[in-house]
Amino acid sequence: MLSRVADRIFWMSRQMERAENMARILGVTSNLVLLDTGKLQEQTLLAPLSITETEAAYRERHDKLTLPALIEFMALDEKNPSSIYSCLKWARENGHAVRWLITSEMWETLNASWLEMRAIPRNRVTGAGATEFFDWVKERSHLFRGVTYGTIVRGEAFNFSRLGTFLERADNTARILDVKYHILLPSVEDVGGALDYYQWAALLRSVSAFETYRQLYRDQIFPIKVAHLLILERRMPRSLAACFDQVKEAMSRIRGQKDEPAKRLASELHARLSYADVEEVFQGGLHEFLTAVLDDIGELGSRIQRAYLGAV
């Protein structure tokens, strides 16, 4: 497959997945912010910007940190390259460039999502219609993934689409889990208190894992178990281990040349996330562990780009 074409398919899939994850992050923030006041509220609003590393860009455009302004920036701002608006736009643009190599159902899904996105009234998204909008974005992403899985021929286009989807998802799960690092509790007494509970519960809900947690652990919500679920539990489809099962599988099907550095790193990450000990992770610091994983995911992305996608 042409590198340019593979690149388009890889990014098309990443962008749809990223749009979904942006919606998830904003969804949980909108919930949490209702529970907080004062300084804590400020931290809650800051967290999405910290984990997506976009605080500076936000400050350039907005003086105050408010929920409507945050949603405006992360969902609708066309100058923000990871806003939902930008993701849907570029996913469609990439799809358009390769519409002869993807199925017409895939193209129609991308195209319709983008056309609907443009028609949605902005003040509804930043106001009363926020939750409805986030649900819509998630649905479009589910639809696109399902249509892709259900229609595309099993070949390089499929492999690169899967690779893009799960690399992006791993990146986002790691970032969402790291959000707790950015929201410090006001005092030590609050640890394990009601506020702490709601924060962890919201986090689980943001990755559709609340029910799964109850089902698998039948227990109170403990940070170490949440971490276990989102890092190691491969039955949980958004966990890092589950994502890397898919990444590794997609990569094993791709036939490349001089792609050992990429394949080696993918296998290393897969092994680390399969056999990590969650106690050890906490001893060394969850934030430090996640930072290392995120760095490696970034490096893997660059190596994939070099090995297959024609980056010079």
Partner 1 sequence: MHAADGGVRPHFRALADWLAETPADRVAEKRREADLLFHRVGITFAVYGDAQGSNEGSNAGAERLIPFDTIPRVIPKAEWDALVQGLRQRVSALNRFLHDIYHEQEILKADVVPAAQVLTNEAYQVSMLGLDLPNGVYSHVSGIDLVRHEDGTYYVLEDNLRTPSGVSYMLENRKMMMRLFPELFARQHVHPVEHYPGLLLETLRAAAPPAVRDPVVALLTPGQHNSAYFEHAFLAQQMGVELVEGGDLFVKDGFLHMRTTSGPQRVDVIYRRIDDAFLDPLAFRQDSLLGVPGLLSVYRAGNVGLANAIGTGVADDKSTYPYVPEMIRFYLKEEPILQNVPTWQCKRPQDLELVLDKLPELVVKEVQGSGGYGMLIGPAAKKTEIEAFRARIKANPANYIAQPTLSLSTCPTFVEQGLAPRHVDLRPYVLSGKAMKLVPGGLTRVALREGSLVVNSSQGGGTKDTWVVD
Side chain identity at residue 225, one-letter code = K
Q: How many residues bind partner 1 (CB under 8 A)?
A: 24
Applying CB under 8 A, does 3 fall inside the site for partner 1? yes
Q: Tell which positions 254-293 bind partner 1, by CB under 8 A.
A: 254-258
CB of 4 to partner 1, least distance (A): 5
Q: Which of 11, 58, 114, 244 binds partner 1 (CB under 8 A)?
A: 114
Tell me the C-alpha distance between 302 and 286, whole Å: 25
Applying CB under 8 A, does 153 fall inside the site for partner 1? no
CB of 254 to partner 1, least distance (A): 7
Q: What is the DSSP letter of 75?
A: I
Binding span for partner 1 by CB under 8 A among 3-11, 22-30, 129-137, 170-178: 3-11
Q: Which is nearer to partner 1, 117 or 241 (CB)?
A: 117
Tell me the C-alpha distance between 232 and 240, whole Å: 7
SS3 22: helix
Q: Which is nearer to partner 1, 200 or 308 (CB)?
A: 308
CB of 247 to partner 1, least distance (A): 16
CB of 295 to partner 1, least distance (A): 25
Torsion (CA) 108, 113, 114, 116 in degrees, nearest 10: 120
CB 254 within 8 A of CB 159: yes
Distances (CA, A) of 100 to 96, 114, 274: 8, 19, 38
Applying CB under 8 A, does 213 fall inside the site for partner 1? no
CB 297 within 8 A of CB 269: yes
Q: Which is nearer to partner 1, 6 or 75 (CB)?
A: 6
Q: Which of 121, 146, 193, 310 binds partner 1 (CB under 8 A)?
A: 310
Applying CB under 8 A, does 166 fall inside the site for partner 1? no
Angle subtended by helix axes 156-177 and 240-253, to nearest 10: 160
Tell me the C-alpha distance between 20 and 139, whole Å: 8
Tell me the C-alpha distance between 31 and 68, whole Å: 13
Q: Which is nearer to partner 1, 111 or 274 (CB)?
A: 111
SS3 79: coil
CB 193 within 8 A of CB 221: no
- Angle (CA) 218-166-299 rounded to 5° is 115
Compute how many other C-beta atoms are within 10 angstroms of the C-beta atom of residue 151: 14
CB of 77 to partner 1, least distance (A): 14
Tell me the C-alpha distance between 167 and 171, whole Å: 6
Q: Tell which positions 83-102 bind partner 1, by CB under 8 A.
A: 89, 92-93, 96-97, 99-100
Q: Which is nearer to partner 1, 11 or 289 (CB)?
A: 11
Q: Which is nearer to partner 1, 290 or 304 (CB)?
A: 304
Applying CB under 8 A, does 6 fall inside the site for partner 1? yes
Applying CB under 8 A, does 4 fall inside the site for partner 1? yes
Applying CB under 8 A, does 105 fall inside the site for partner 1? no
x/- site string to partner 1, residues 219 to 258, per CB under 8 A?
A: -----------------------------------xxxxx
Q: Which parts of this chain interact with partner 1 (CB under 8 A)?
A: 1-4, 6, 89, 92-93, 96-97, 99-100, 114, 118, 156, 160, 254-258, 308-310
